[in-house]
Chain A
């Protein structure tokens, strides 16, 4: 697809039978006009990229090397922010909380959505209805999910502990006991698995029937079929969900911030729910340490890139792309 490719590249039919050199010249002229029109169509994105991505990236990298509080001019301090960051106990706390949340939440999320998708795949005609039911929570605004967490997981009279009580389990104080805050938030987050369920269900439905038929003829049982056909065939979708949810988990903010941070919340410790992006947000917009927050943002970016790269490398061994792509 170079500049000299025919404009009508899709349908290779040639309409004119002019001499090759004339055709070549026309093509070039057409493609130059082409570039102009193309640029017009692309201009919103190009402008947006320059103003809202490229410049912010450069400026944020610069800010990360300064002290900046919005009111006074940035004051260049070299790598001091990064040094400070490495020694900040709250950064370490936030990193630990975020790592715990992501490491526990993502596998649980995958298991729950896979289980639901497999059940839906078996439900025949009822699957359309249940698909709707499981997706519905995904439409709930995260603020409301945060509120629901506080209500349902309330230690004394929340619904969760009431139900646990029926089974003789004395539920913990999910919203106040530091040891149980993160597990509680993780359980709450499983409520919104809807979109992953739908992606996996679509992948399951896309597995060619013939594979199962030949496996059956070869006498393969349930487990063999699951591990040799189903799992490899849906592995691209699984991998996609793992990557997307890991990235989202590392940036978790809305629900925990709603439930534990913000104005007036000074009466009790919320260290257990201090996730990395929450601390970053506080530094930037509550303490106005814009330089420090920028340094934090770049470290987050680095972490996300490393984690994603590792997942990509690992996936080469486990993800099967049909058609050997």
Chain B
């Protein structure tokens, strides 16, 4: 598992939905200071002009450091082979050759398509299955519920390395090694972190709503599907986006399960290009650079589309940890 979202450890948070905590932060960032805010909330942040200017200058410089690697990469992808390392911001000779060449050297279209297929299947299945399980843990009361949920949380502590080999043997026994199935099918069974996240959200919803629907004749599944799920759309979006990122960037599973270049996902394909053209290979860094740009851009797009969900989701994952 290379899911690199931050897991809350030993979370015992109450029923309040966790997102709430992140809202003031977002609000403070966008709303201009008012009298009310001076009284509470941002009052402490309304410091002297000098301190704010200092923060801005420092942040701008650091921000440049954080963004520049992207800029460098994109700029280098438009440079001819001999100028890749000239560290110029604007390419001296502008060329699209690298993009053409990458497309010829590698089945990039196939890689992108494979990754899209795996990502969509993985994200949709994990969102639905985790929501179902989370609902089971939040709506129903039964003996042993606490212990069972404790078990869910405990599985988050288990390093992926322990189950990696037997899981490989399962897929090997099913004849699925070399196909895309092992990269997503495990998601049919939900994922502990998302179950935890969604359960928190469900617990924050008013229970009367569901009781009323039951009295009106809705089935158990109907209550979940038609009432609870639509209400929890913001949390579902967080899960979906987290998983899209985790799967799109997953290297280890692709290394274990994919053999033939035509079945590669983009990270696995990029790794094969590093092997072929980088260290120990033919030293064509411009190809690796261009492939890196193509691998990264979809994630940047996802980020700009779902920025709020991502940042709120990350912020809330650490609160009350």
A-side residues, CB < 8 A to B, are 1-3, 5, 7-11, 31, 34-35, 37-42, 44-45, 47-49, 51-53, 55-57, 59-60, 63, 70, 116, 119-128, 130-137, 139-144, 146-148, 150-152, 154, 156-159, 162, 175, 191, 194-196, 198-203, 205-206, 209-210, 212-213, 236-237, 239-241, 243-244, 247-248, 251, 253-254, 257-260, 262-268, 277, 280-281, 284-285, 290, 293-294, 296-298, 300-301, 304-305, 308, 312, 325
| A147 engages B274 (CB within 8 Å) | yes
Instruction: A16 to B30: give the CA distance in the assembly, Å.
Output: 50
Instruction: A271 to B256: give the CA distance in the assembly, Å.
Output: 22
- In the complex, chain B residues whose CB is within 8 Å of the CB of A194: 314
| A141 engages B249 (CB within 8 Å) | yes
- In the complex, chain A residues whose CB is within 8 Å of the CB of B32: 125
Given the interface contacts A240-B321, A297-B161, does A148 sit within 8 Å of B85 by beta carbon? no
Question: Contacting A199 at CB < 8 Å: which of B41, B296, B317?
Answer: B317
Instruction: A133 to B60: give the CA distance in the assembly, Å.
Output: 10
Given the interface contacts A11-B208, A63-B165, A237-B321, does A159 sit within 8 Å of B87 by beta carbon? yes
| B67 engages A133 (CB within 8 Å) | yes
B-side residues, CB < 8 A to A, are 2, 4-10, 12, 21-22, 24-26, 28-30, 32-33, 40-47, 51-52, 54-56, 58-59, 62-63, 66-70, 72-73, 76, 85-87, 129, 132-133, 135-137, 139-143, 145-146, 148, 151-152, 155, 157-170, 172, 186, 188-190, 195, 206-208, 211, 220, 224, 245, 248-249, 251-252, 255-256, 266-267, 270-272, 274-276, 278-281, 285, 288-289, 292, 295-296, 299-300, 302-303, 307, 310-311, 314-321
A-B contact pairs, 13 of them (CB 8 A): A35-B142, A48-B188, A53-B155, A57-B163, A124-B42, A124-B52, A134-B63, A139-B300, A141-B266, A141-B299, A147-B289, A237-B319, A257-B255
Given the interface contacts A57-B158, A142-B249, does A212 sit within 8 Å of B30 by beta carbon? no
Instruction: A210 to B165: give the CA distance in the assembly, Å.
Output: 53
- In the complex, chain B residues whose CB is within 8 Å of the CB of A157: 85-87
Question: Contacting A209 at CB < 8 Å: which of B2, B40, B207, B288?
Answer: B40
- In the complex, chain B residues whose CB is within 8 Å of the CB of A209: 40-41, 43-44
| B165 engages A294 (CB within 8 Å) | yes
- In the complex, chain B residues whose CB is within 8 Å of the CB of A239: 321
- In the complex, chain B residues whose CB is within 8 Å of the CB of A8: 207, 211
- Chain B contact residues: over half helix, strand or loop, or mixed? helix
- In the complex, chain B residues whose CB is within 8 Å of the CB of A152: 69, 72
Chain A nearest CB, measured from B169 CB (Å): 7
- In the complex, chain A residues whose CB is within 8 Å of the CB of B319: 199, 202-203, 206, 236-237
Other A-B pairs, 19, CB within 8 Å; known A41-B140, A162-B87 = A8-B207, A31-B141, A45-B129, A49-B189, A52-B186, A53-B158, A56-B162, A120-B59, A131-B29, A136-B300, A142-B4, A147-B274, A150-B279, A159-B72, A199-B314, A199-B315, A205-B24, A237-B318, A254-B251
Chain A nearest CB, measured from B47 CB (Å): 6
**Closest partner residue, chain A, to B64 (CB atom):** A133
- In the complex, chain B residues whose CB is within 8 Å of the CB of A124: 33, 42, 45-46, 52, 55
| A277 engages B63 (CB within 8 Å) | no
- In the complex, chain A residues whose CB is within 8 Å of the CB of B167: 52, 56
Kindly count the residue-residue contacts between A and B in the assembled complex, taking CB atoms under 8 Å apart: 361
